[in-house]
Structure 1
Amino acid sequence: MKRFGQEISNRKKLFKHIKTALFVGIILNIINQQDLIWGFYWHELQISKMVMTFFVPFAVSVYSAATSIPSIDQGRKGLSK
């Protein structure tokens, strides 16, 4: 959990995760709701689906960054061998 907090509390990393979520979310929303978007049926867009489509890439980005960083303690143990 500590690594997740570090990923979100670092402003530079947070903006990177947000940019990733916006980029992927826009593409996924166009794919998932293309009939409504291209047909200009704005009133029929499913807001909950749109929110989740942006949140999931954000969560995946934070999770993958947090789990790919080795902890400092593990790095020290590896150096002492």
Structure 2
Amino acid sequence: MIVFITAITITADIYPALKVLLKETFGHHWIGKSVLATILWLAFALIPIKSDFIRTKHIVFTAMGCALAIFAFYVLLFIL
């Protein structure tokens, strides 16, 4: 889900039509992202997954990588 939010955030800024679609469908693009992320979360919540240290570490590094990707994208967008 972290990767989904990162991907849809960057994609919506590259392709404004996606942001418009989210806005027209849900009233605001942030609400659209939240609704889609919630649906995705509910779908994955039905899958039983064992939790362990390695999986938790992977999730933390994924979140950090996604945060860095969004930060780098907006810095490059600002510079260019």
TM range (shorter): 0.3 to 0.5
User: TM-score, with normalisation over the residues of structure 1?
Assistant: 0.34
User: TM-score, with normalisation over the residues of structure 2?
Assistant: 0.34
Q: Which has the larger radius of gyration?
A: 1
